[in-house]
Every structure is written in C-alpha cells, then in structure tokens.
Amino acid sequence: MCFKYQDEEFFAEGVSLKKLAQEVGTPFYCYSSDKLTRNFQSYQQALKEFNSTVCYSVKANPNLGVLSTLARQGCGADVVSAGEMYVALKAGVPADKIVFSGVGKTQEELTQAIKNQILQINAESVAEVETINRIAIDLGLKANVALRVNPDVDALTHVKITTGKKENKFGVDWDDALPLYRAAARMPGIRLVGIAVHIGSQLLDLQPFRFAFTKIAQMVRTLEQEGIVLDNIDLGGGLGINYNVELPPTCEAYAAVVRETLGDLNKHIIVEPGRSIVGNMGILVTRVLYTKQMGEKNFIIVDAGMNDLVRPAMYDAWHTILPVQRRGVAPIIADVVGPICESGDVFAKDRIIEPVQQGELLAIMCAGAYGAAMSSIYNFRPLVPEVMVHGDNFCVVRRRTSYEEMLSGHCVPQWL
C-alpha cells in the first residue's frame, strides 16, 4: 500500500503527511512514485504478448515529475495540445512514442506534430485530414495519420465523459470512415498508419470495449481488402478506477478483450490510459479551517477548494476523505466544503466521517487524475504544490504559484 496508516497516522510511502504539510503548506497534492510505476507496469505486463505501446494520456496529470517517471520506464504519451506535446518531449518521451488526439487541433499544433514526426496524429474530420495534407506538403514531409473513428458505442459512464456515441463531437462518423480512408490514401502529404478509437472514461464494464474493438477489427479487415494496410490500432483510454465501491476490470481482463477481438490481426496496439495510471497514486491534503453546525447540519470547512479539485463540483464525483490522524471515535455526518464563494464548492455531502478539529489534516483520495490537471486560480488562489514521494524521500515537483507569477502576464492599460 502506498498510502497507509502507521500507528493511526496517514503516510505516503515512508513520508509523514503531517511533516509534508509543515514543509510545503496546505493544500497540496501528494503523489506516490511507487504506485505510479506499478500502475504503468500493470499495463505493460498485461499487454506484453502484443507489440504494444502504452501512451499515457497526459491530460490526466501533466506534471513534469509524473511524466518523467513514466518516460524513464519506457512509457509513451497521448497528447491533446502542443503544450502537452512540449511537456512530454521535455520529460524525455521520444517523438515516436507520442500520439496526438483531439477534435480541434490548430494549424500551428499540427505543424509542430508533423515537424516532430510523432508516431501518429489521430485525425477526426475530413477537413482536418485535408489540412494535415496541405501542411505536410508545404513542409516537404509526410505526416503519420490515423483516423479516429466514432463506433457509436455507449460507454455506460457519466454523460460528460462519454465520447463514442454518434451524437458526441468526437471522431469520424462510422459511415464516413471508409471513404475518408480511400481519399487520404491518395493524398501525397499523408502516410496512413493507423486507426484510433476512444469511447469514454471511467468505464467499469468491458462490454463497450468489446463492441468497439470488434467494430475496429472489421474496419481494419475491410481496409486491408482494399489494399489499405495499417500498422497501428489505438484503443484509447478509459479503464475505470475504484473511487468508492467500484470494481474496475483489471489490466489482464482488458488485455483478454484485446486478444479476443484484435489478437489475430497482429498489429501494433496502442493504449492511452490516463486515470488508471495516475488516479490512485495521488491525494489532495487539506487543512480544516473551521467546523460549524447550522441547525442539524455539520460543516467541515477546509482550505482546498473547487479550484484545486473540481471533480466533485463538476461531475458529482465521489472522493473518499480520510483523517490524517485517525482517532477511532464515533463518526458524524458532515459536509466537507471549500472556501470558494459558490455553493457548488463541496467535496462531500452528508458524509459519514470522523469528527475533526480546526487545524487538523484531511486526505482527499484518488485525486491524481484530473485533479491538479484541471485546477485553476479561481478566486485568485495560487495553484497548490505537487509533491512526489519515493520511499522516505520527497520532491516538490511543482511549487506553489506566487502572487507575482499569477500577475506576471497582467498589465494596467496605458490610458489609465
């Protein structure tokens, strides 16, 4: 266990969270490098029978320390902006292990990707394919392109993170994919290298993957009959994690679906996991500012807010909250809320939780994915530190933003 109690005090690997809080102040994110590495290795291990590349989805957590840890293990990257491509390259991910996804890539971003000769650009529309072709011709290069197809499969997950249905904005419509492949095969700036699919996030059932991958296999066979032979099949990300009482499929079970649906095609398999690599390797540590009772209700007011971790406010997401010092006293029912001036700034409603005192610490669990990544300076609050632990060691892999840094791009108009 990477986060665990030792004599009723919560530790990250061998590091006391109380000590870390003294060192860096609160709130802060804390990441376990051991858990991170093991999550990546689970994928590698499960997929080892295939020629495969794990391209970690940088959007889940773009921290340089996180990415460098993964890159050192041989991990690739799935990026959705030139910014993410920049961080991935800085972290040491080789260009030939980078895939570029996203429904709205700019010409500048595509130019960067083509110049860097990345593994593949997952194009999502006719217009994007034509744009890539034009840019590549101008550069005197060929772009490695895959089409992200929309298989019209319901991922059975939260509506805001479902991406593989016909009505979602993502991918090339299933019926348009074949004609677009034919057209792209004739474009001089395009080297057709693959097919890509991503149906959603936090999937707890393998059946939608099975449906989608089966459709992909059919498409790959149809294309081969037409002489369009692809190297790569990119299966996207989406494997869920356990936030509360969920039972997500294991990497082995996922790999079994890949074998069953695509095994005999002998292609290079790319996967783009985000949440399942970084979700449970990170927690958000926050300090109790005040407690108060209003009528029947107990409130625990903490110094982290929805700007630091937006998932509960945005998706009604559950994050388990644990006291850093456990006392074993009878629990109460309370709302754990942040200081932001919005009633949505709630981490937990009517939660059964040990009573805590002013000044004590709480750990908000499973916050490594889409936590720091989606944070903002709303209410002009600094971005919080991110700390990575490694055994008894720790490193501040991003320090708290200063007010000067927050103001650095601002200016007062010259007419004042």
For residues 63 and 276, which CB has a smaller minimum distance to ligand LLP in the complex? 276
For residues 112 and 375, which CB has a smaller minimum distance to ligand LLP in the complex? 375
Residue 238 binds ligand LLP, judged by CB under 6 A = yes
For residues 78 and 345, which CB has a smaller minimum distance to ligand LLP in the complex? 78
Number of neighbouring beta carbons within 10 Å of residue 412: 6
Sign (positive or negative) of CA dihedral 337, 339, 344, 347:
negative
Residue 78 binds ligand LLP, judged by CB under 6 A = yes
Among 272, 345, 360, 386, binds ligand LLP (CB under 6 A): 272
Residue 375 binds ligand LLP, judged by CB under 6 A = no
In whole angstroms, how close is the CB of 272 to ligand LLP at the nearest point? 4
CA of residue 378 relative to chain centroid, distance: 21
Residues 155 to 174 in contact with ligand LLP, rule: CB under 6 A = 161, 163
For residues 16 and 44, which CB has a smaller minimum distance to ligand LLP in the complex? 44
Token pair recorded at residue 51: 């020629």
Angle at 180 between CA 175 and CA 181, to 5 degrees: 105
SS3 of residue 349 by DSSP: strand
Token pair recorded at residue 168: 């979602």
| C-alpha distances in Å from residue 146, one per residue of 125, 185, 239, 399 | 11, 11, 22, 38
CA of residue 71 relative to chain centroid, distance: 16
Mark the segment that binds ligand LLP (CB under 6 A) among 274-282, 284-292, 336-344, 355-363. 274-282
Residue 274 binds ligand LLP, judged by CB under 6 A = yes
Residue 60 binds ligand LLP, judged by CB under 6 A = yes
DSSP for residue 415 = T
Q: Which residues lie closer than 8 Å to 226 by C-beta, 6 or more apart?
A: 181, 182
Q: Which residues lie closer than 8 Å to 138 by C-beta, 6 or more apart?
A: none
Residue 21 to residue 360: CA distance in whole angstroms:
10
Residue 97 binds ligand LLP, judged by CB under 6 A = no
Q: Are 79 and 56 in contact (CB under 8 A)?
A: no
Among 35, 105, 215, 275, binds ligand LLP (CB under 6 A): 275
In whole angstroms, how close is the CB of 194 to ligand LLP at the nearest point? 13
For residues 234 and 303, which CB has a smaller minimum distance to ligand LLP in the complex? 234
For residues 185 and 314, which CB has a smaller minimum distance to ligand LLP in the complex? 314
Residue 390 binds ligand LLP, judged by CB under 6 A = no
Residue 193 to residue 230: CA distance in whole angstroms:
5
Among 33, 37, 52, 57, binds ligand LLP (CB under 6 A): 57
**Is 341 annotated in the active site?**
yes
In whole angstroms, how close is the CB of 412 to ligand LLP at the nearest point? 35
Strands 3-6, 172-173: pairing kind = unpaired
Residue 201 binds ligand LLP, judged by CB under 6 A = yes
Mark the segment that binds ligand LLP (CB under 6 A) among 38-46, 184-192, 194-202, 298-306. 194-202
| Number of residues in contact with ligand LLP under rule CB under 6 A | 20
Q: Are 197 and 216 in contact (CB under 8 A)?
A: yes
Helices H / strands E in the chain, number of each:
12, 21
Kindly list the catalytic residues: 341
Residues that bind ligand LLP (CB under 6 A): 57, 60, 78, 101, 161, 163, 198, 201-202, 236-238, 272-276, 311, 315, 370
